[in-house]
Structure 1
Amino acid sequence: MIFSERMGLVDKLPMNTDSLSKAQKNDIFNFFANTFLEKNTPFGEEERHNNYKLNDILTSLFHVNITDIYHDANNNLSLVRRNIDRSEWYITYDFLEYVLENFSQGNYHYELANKMLESTNSGYRFIKKQLVSIVNKIDSKNIKRAVNKKLDDGHLSNALKEVSKRKDPNYKVVIKESIDAAEIVTKKIAIELYNDSNKKTLGQYVKTLESNGFIEGHNAFLKALSALYGYSSDGGIRHPKDDDIYDIDKSDAIFMLEVCSAFVSMLTTKYSELKTAN
């Protein structure tokens, strides 16, 4: 927190998910310009490459008429800025995602972007290169850790991608993918370490891990997870039915994603430790 905020002289920027202030748009644009545009030299390779970047953004993202671009190529950076200024807040986030997806050199730039978003108190962060909301108490670190273990066959990534959709996310898909991730990781560990059957349910695999001392002292958590598994199965979520029992909303989906990510993270950490010890 900066001096003026600590002293109560100015209000800290509110965390927002449906707007961007002029200052926040400035920061996003400055992040792009400082990170992805090298200092130009007349007729140099950097200048030609930067013009390519700017032209690509203007035509592919903002759909600017190409005659406007080549009319005054020296002002294309200003043209990007003007399009950001007159665009809705979510188009600015589209811009940020677009430049990172097309011009970043690995995870480093995503980490820089997250620091910039945090400094402006944005309600979004990049997780697995997807810009997602953090306002609904999603445990982003836990989800990222679980996703990066890559033992869940991509189910958590699918859930994360679905819940972060700006238009018409399917929250039942989020719940299904989340619980499938928990089941597949539990199954893999039970089979690999204890030669278990490949035709059991999540609850049965959990009992295998419990009986072999792999997970201990988590009885309440495991009972809750078993109940969530039953909830996702009997409500027409994992196995669609004509008459669904539950009306699923975003908070339900985020809760399931968070719980299953925590469970997967715990299992994969214990699994990694055990493999390292052996």
Structure 2
Amino acid sequence: MRFSQKIGKTSFRDSIQIDSIDEKLENRLWNTILLNFFDEIGVDINHKVNRDSDIEKTLQVIWQDFFGNPVDEIPKNIQSDISARKFMGYIKEWFFRSQWYEKYDFLEFLSKLDLQYFELSFTEECNNSLKSEMSAYRLVDGDIVQITSEEEIIEIEEALVNSSIWEPVNTHLKTAITYFSNRENPDYRNSVKEAISAVESVCKIIVGNNNTTLAPALKIIEVKHKIHRALRSAFTSIYGFASDAGGIRHSLLLDDIEVSMEDAKFILVSCSAFINYLKVKIEK
């Protein structure tokens, strides 16, 4: 974990790659393209591309349909066969100077080729790379889909600002973000624990009882500040999830489910939104 993350100076927005691709993700995606697409379909820079082969047809499709280049300008050797070495050199040069969104366009294009003709593990390996490097995008059925929205990020950022008046709440929330956004070793289980602990802390502060727990505190808040019963029930259920799933608040059991990134993100966004909601309610 980097020092900036430990002291809360790296924001959630900075941790999630939305409008950019950093060098580490760029390199990882290139390796995935090379190893899990071109190597898998049999492209070898040390050998010629046989005419009328599936490899030749695939390279021609990429050259014409993705890059929009003239077919008679495709890189060839002295025997007039497609040169795999020159072709891959062209793609690599383009990839590393292309814009971040153009790289995603290329992933989409290759994923659709894979799904239609090859059925490799390319899409799965791309998503593993995207997930590991905290990209806000995934490949779903050949399309790039954003899985972290601007609205979700704003909700978390507002919660950090709103909770700054309550040190325990703010600490739990920052810790939840740190666990979630650690690219080297994300800890989704403890991110969920810290996020729900942030909600529990703010509820304890609102009711003025540090010895209570979330469920009874929410019942008091429901009556005193007129929050809807369904909201109280929803967060009581989330507390139950945090107590049961994956051994989050207790030791792990054999039949516990693994807490995924999607689980942790949902809890983090939901808890942030609820903290923002409670602050508005108690100020009325």
TM-score bracket for this pair, using the shorter chain length: 0.3 to 0.5
TM-score, normalisation: structure 2: 0.47
TM-score, normalisation: structure 1: 0.47
Q: Highest Rg: 1 or 2?
A: 2
